[in-house]
Amino acid sequence: MSKYQPHRCDFCTGTVQPIVAKAEPIHVRGGLVLLDGVVIGKCDRCGHCYFPAEIVKRAERAAENPQEASQVRTIPVVAA
């Protein structure tokens, strides 16, 4: 598990802290992927998520190769 150094948020005056993702959605080339159990950054004020480059790469790989992902879930959609 890679480390995540706390840093100032780009969007507010909050601090981005490392958290363990729980079914956190990430949009990447190839589609929507859920992150579970990996360490990402989350702003303690605005809640913006920051994804380490390595996580983004893994998510892109999972989007392109769903058969290699840890799990594949069907995501219900609520639309207007």
CB of 9 to Zn ion, least distance (A): 3
CB of 8 to Zn ion, least distance (A): 9
φ, ψ for residue 27, nearest 5 deg: -95, 125
Extended beta strands in 1-80, E state: 7-8, 15-20, 24-28, 31-35, 39-43, 49-50
12 binds Zn ion (CB under 5 A): yes
Nearest to Zn ion of 11, 25 (CB atom): 11
Residues 6+ apart with CB under 8 A from 13: 45
8 binds Zn ion (CB under 5 A): no
Looking at residues 26 to 65 of the shown chain, list those that interact with Zn ion (rule: CB under 5 A): 43, 45-46, 48
Nearest to Zn ion of 41, 58 (CB atom): 41
Which token pair is 15?
Answer: 């601090």
Confirm if 35 and 59 have CB atoms less than 8 A apart: yes
Please select the residue that binds Zn ion; options are 4, 9, 41, 51, rule is CB under 5 A. 9
